[in-house]
Structure 1
């Protein structure tokens, strides 16, 4: 009887150990990946991704960009659902936006542009610049009616002198704000104003 009892206890202990081992192995063993910072740009529909704090990374020839940044470039919202424990991406790609700027619309041509949208920026100070692919042609700050977390509408009337319009290239508007922590540019959103060809 003692032999049967000992055998049964040993069998149960062995089964419990066999069931626990895969679970322990799954929680202990994690794969490590070595990523390098990419030395090439990412553009989506002519919009360049740039964020020094969340850089573009490369792993074995594949490019990795923060998911929210890709959503911003595509005009999609990227949210973490704590209840469902998953990332949810929604959008049709028809608008360009990020955490600080949304509903951006551009009209005009030949150096005269009107840009409208909404900003949600710290202390209601939004910043913008226009560049020709090589140099900044102007950089300005604008005081909005309300600061974050509220969305505040804005309208920019941008004039680029004829002598600064590129004969071949794209004038890009860069919307951003300066970090209250360290003064770096954050929430950068690049929007094409006009493309010129010879």
Structure 2
């Protein structure tokens, strides 16, 4: 429950502030009107109905990053670690396949994937980026 609360809080913070700063540096900036994250970029989602392919580029400071998939009420994919081929400042491509059984998908809601790193000292979530996989109405 604590992780879900943290994820929802981070989503709200990201929605409210167009730029965020970590150690005095913007981690989200605008490029051609689109938000660009300094640790994850070019993230694209393909798929629907519980089957998704998520591709993008990452440059995690720690050499690895994590993701979780949820809808604000339920976690569909528990925290999963991805070891990057390269570390900051180099970008490396990634591809993640997500499969959620159709019976678990919400009737009304948004399935969201959160990419993030963990702070070395505290294990706190940092550099959080929400990615909408699918909206259900």
Which protein has the bigger strand share? 2
TM-score of Structure 1 vs Structure 2, range by shorter chain: 0.7 to 0.9
Which protein has the bigger helix share? 1
Once the two structures are TM-superposed, the CA of residue 115 in structure 1 deviates from its matched residue by 0.6
Runs of 4+ displaced beyond 4 Å: none
Between the aligned partners of 2:36 and 2:115, the Cα distance in structure 1 is: 10
Q: Which residue of 43, 46, 49 corresponds with 1:110?
A: 49
- With over 3 angstroms needed to count, the CA separation of the structure-2 counterparts of 1:50 and 1:67, relative to structure 1, is closer
The answer to whether structure 1 residue 185 and structure 2 residue 137 are counterparts is no
Q: Which residue of 34, 38, 57 corresponds with 1:99?
A: 38
The structure, 1 or 2, with the larger RCO (C-alpha pairs under 8 Å, 6+ apart) is 2
Between the aligned partners of 2:38 and 2:12, the Cα distance in structure 1 is: 14
8 Å contact from structure 1 (residues 118, 153) kept in 2: yes
Between the aligned partners of 2:93 and 2:56, the Cα distance in structure 1 is: 6
User: What SS does structure 2 have at the residue aligned with 1:97?
Assistant: strand
- With over 3 angstroms needed to count, the CA separation of the structure-2 counterparts of 1:66 and 1:192, relative to structure 1, is closer
- With over 3 angstroms needed to count, the CA separation of the structure-2 counterparts of 1:130 and 1:66, relative to structure 1, is same
TM-score (structure 1 length as normaliser): 0.56
Aligned residues: CA RMSD: 2.7
TM-score (structure 2 length as normaliser): 0.78
Structure 2: stretches of 5+ with no match in the other structure: 1-7
List aligned pairs for 1:1-198, cutoff 5 A: 48-50=11-13, 65=17, 67-68=19-20, 72=28, 76=30, 91-94=31-34, 96-138=35-77, 139-197=79-137
Count of aligned positions? 125
Structure 1: stretches of 5+ with no match in the other structure: 1-40, 57-62, 77-90
